[in-house]
Homo-oligomer: A and B are copies of this chain.
Amino acid sequence: MNYSIGIDIGGTNTEFGLVDEKGTIIQREKLKTKDFSTTDDYLKALTAKIELLADSVREENLILGVGIGAPNGNYYHGTIEYAPNLPFKGIVNLKNNLEVLLLKDGYNLKVTVTNDANAAAIGEMIYGNAKDIKDFIMITLGTGVGSGIVVDGKLVYGHTGFAGEVGHSIIDINGRQCNCGRRGCVERYASATGIVITVKEMLQNFDKPSVLRDLDFDSITSKDIYDAAVKGDCIALDCFDYTAKMLAVGIANACEITSPQKVFLFGGLSKAGNYLLTPLSKYLNEYLYSTFQNTITIELSDLKETDAALLGAAALCF
């Protein structure tokens, strides 16, 4: 049996897994990403954890490499570049630095880096519901909106290695101001951040009663909106409907470029399940150009949230 080490770098945690070829996570490790203020300290801690996992099977010498999924991870350069939600600023030469540190300790391991949403797409393709699907899009709905695009069985990296930014496609040129400096990006509506903006607008602009009015306005979270929706709260349900509509336009635009068979949703906001999925499926068909209507199904990823990117990252080495 061959093994690889998968790493999922997030803004809060860094998750490690020693993974076998069948996709079983044999052993796990974890670091708090936010505990590290310098890149050097973080790289050293990453190295120590990798070596710890490698030691479990070292005598077999069957570890094929280290795969890493990270926000703004670049497959071609092996870097993390200007990731807004990580403590490490600028360009981090993850691949080169880790390979050197590992080799210094006698571990000759190849490191491969990709974007976290791409890693989740690879996870879905190898271990999830996209096993027999050649054309699909993975949408990750977290603090932001990420995506991994698979065309003809291959992940799309494009010329820069950064292909697949559905979250920053513009669906309303006069819409909400986005952190990226432009207006009307999908992410500004369809992320955990976006849905909170929407609900606050709705609470301010409409008189409808809502259990959300009992909460501290400035502290409302996407989880609060979900809880309110479960209670049948009108504002919360309208809010999911609007979020689904805006996300549908973004997904429809992406689908018109690559014509996928399926779209998978993944990440925090996707846990809203049918509160999001039911209106999303309806709106997707409505906003798709006629040629694509009824050719695409949208479903929730079957992979555990903590595992998809980790397994996908590990699979980069297989």
Contact = CB atoms under 8 A, between A and B. Distances in A.
Which residue of A180, A185, A258 has the most chain B CB atoms within 10 A of its CB atom? A258
A154 B169 CA distance: 23
A252 B151 contact: no
A135 B158 contact: yes
B259 A160 contact: yes
Contacts of A185: 289
A166 interface: yes
A160 B256 CA distance: 10
Contact of A174 (B164, B170, B172): B172
Interface in A57-106: 72, 81-82
B149 A257 contact: yes
Given A135-B158, A158-B151, A169 B257 contact: yes
Nearest to A170: B249
Which residue of A151, A156, A184, A261 has the most chain B CB atoms within 10 A of its CB atom? A151
A170 B246 CA distance: 11
Interface in A267-290: 287, 289-290
B160 A291 contact: yes
Assembly of this chain: how many copies? 2
Interface in A196-254: 246, 249, 252-254
A152 interface: yes
Contact of A180 (B170, B246, B290): B290
Given A151-B151, A180-B290, A182-B287, A258 B158 contact: yes
User: Contact size class for A?
Assistant: 35 or more
A247 B258 CA distance: 19
Interface of A is mostly: loop
B165 A291 contact: yes
Interface string A279-318: 0000000010111100110000000000000000000000
Contacts of A17: none
Interface string A138-165: 0000000000010110101111111111
A126 interface: no
A172 B172 contact: yes
Contact of A159 (B134, B168, B252): B134
B180 A289 contact: yes
B180 A257 contact: no
10 contacts: A135-B158, A152-B157, A159-B295, A160-B295, A162-B291, A165-B291, A166-B257, A169-B252, A169-B253, A174-B174
